[in-house]
Amino acid sequence: MPTDRNADNYESVLTGASKDVASFEGEEKGFVGRLQEMLHATPSLVPLIVLVAAIIIFGIALGSKFFSPFALTLILQQVQIVGVLAAAQSLVILTAGIDLSVGALAVLSSVIMGQFTFRYGIPPAVSVMLGLTIGTAIGAISGWLVSRVKLPPFIVTLGMWQILLAANYLYSRNETIRSQDIETEAAFLQLLGVKFQAGGATFTLGVLLMVGLVAALAYALRSTAWGRHVYAVGDDPEAAELAGVNVHRTLMSVYMLVGFICALTGWVMIGRFGSVSPAVSTGMMGNIQSITAVVIGGISLFGGRGSIVGAFFGALIVGVFELGLRMAGANPQWTWLLIGALIIGAVSLDQWIRKVSQ
């Protein structure tokens, strides 16, 4: 045992060692390494490449039938519901959560907007506002259970999914509000279904809303303190808290915003379907469809990684596959087989990209 501190001189040899400890430049990694780093920095690149490749392949195979303004904008119309839901799902998944109730909340919100108008005679614009408010409030309940009661998001939203779906049938008394009735008495409810043409391309207000929403969220996530906090909370909540982020407030804001966007999806649904029905498939499938889009879009289910633009591309990829394979006359099961392969591929890629840090 050394009795003098100078006797412990093991570090003296370091004077001869290289001093550049804190050098931040990366060594040569070759093409694969650089690709890995590039994907690490821009995670939405992969879904974009897949999307463009799918459009080109279907375009070559099907010709102008597929590669036309009409067909391509039809895809946008077909994915608008899943696209908006995927935007909401992305926010939750970025915080390392998951929301199984997005579809059910969307359907319930559409039912609330419709029934408030037709059962109570509330002006449609006010009904829409109330629907959005209730959606936000339901999001707040989920957020509170996750953030304060510290329940796993999977459990909270699994329960919420069943509750909302049941409430949706109970409240609507399983009645559908017919499209013609809405058209004549409360056309405002169908506002997001309004179509306009631009050189063969057909857009609806719902499509514009989806694109605008994705752009706005992408901006907020990238360029505001709130967005950085969402990523930090998803990455490591304890670290974020110690670094001075209000984790509770961040989680609450995310779940409330998700509730709001789901209610917005309810409004988009009225525009798309024309009618208000408690039995639309979104209630059961909306969660899986949105999670699929998010995963294909390269957002990590472990939180803190990925971009919302990627999730939008993910939704479009599913839309392109569905329409392309249908036009090609293939059995629709091929769509799901390919989507399944894409999901597994996307997650494998995510694992590989994460290794850039090791």
Partner 1 sequence: MTTEPILSGRGLIKRFGKVTALDSCDFDLMPGEILAVIGDNGAGKSVMIKTLSGALQPDGGQVYVEGKPVNFQSPIDAREAGIETVYQTLAMSPALSIADNMFMGREIRKPGLVGQWFRKLDRPAMETFAREKLSELGLLTIQNINQAVETLSGGQRQGVAVARAAAFGSKVIILDEPTAALGVKESRKVLELILDVRSRGIPIILISHNMPHVFEVADRIHIHRLGRRLCVVDPKDYTMSDAVAFMTGAKEPPSEAVPA
Cβ proximity to partner 1: between 25 and 28 the closer is 25
**Options 64, 121, 242, 333; binder of partner 1; rule CB under 8 A:** 242
Cβ proximity to partner 1: between 65 and 249 the closer is 249
Binding letters toward partner 1, positions 337-356, x by CB under 8 A:
-------------------x
Size of the site for partner 1 (CB under 8 A): 44
| C-alpha dist (Å) from residue 258 to 58, 64, 146, 201, 302 | 34, 38, 14, 30, 18
Is 240 one of the binding residues for partner 1 (CB under 8 A)? yes
R_g over Cα of the chain: 24
**Options 10, 27, 184, 198; binder of partner 1; rule CB under 8 A:** 10
Q: Which of the stretches 19-27, 47-55, 147-155, 319-327 binds partner 1 when contact is defined by CB under 8 A?
A: 19-27
Cβ proximity to partner 1: between 197 and 246 the closer is 246
Binding letters toward partner 1, positions 293-322, x by CB under 8 A:
-----------xx-----------------
Report the nearest approach of partner 1 to the CB of residue 283 (Å).
34
Q: Which of the stretches 17-25, 260-268, 275-283, 320-328 binds partner 1 when contact is defined by CB under 8 A?
A: 17-25
**Options 49, 56, 243, 344; binder of partner 1; rule CB under 8 A:** 243
Distance CA 39, CA 24 (A): 19
Q: Annotate 225-261 with b (16+ C-beta within 10 A) or e (fewer).
A: eebebbbbbbbebeebeeeebebbebbbbbbbbbbbb
Cβ proximity to partner 1: between 41 and 57 the closer is 41
Is 31 one of the binding residues for partner 1 (CB under 8 A)? no
**Options 35, 57, 239, 344; binder of partner 1; rule CB under 8 A:** 239
> Any idea what the Cα angle at residue 91 is, between residues 355 and 85, rounded to 5°?
120
**Options 8, 16, 27, 28; binder of partner 1; rule CB under 8 A:** 8
Q: Which of the stretches 59-67, 141-149, 241-249, 339-347 binds partner 1 when contact is defined by CB under 8 A?
A: 241-249
Report the nearest approach of partner 1 to the CB of residue 39 (Å).
12
Given the rule CB under 8 A, which residues bind partner 1?
1-5, 8, 10-11, 14, 17, 20-26, 37, 40-41, 219-220, 223-226, 228-229, 231-232, 235-236, 238-245, 304-305, 356-357
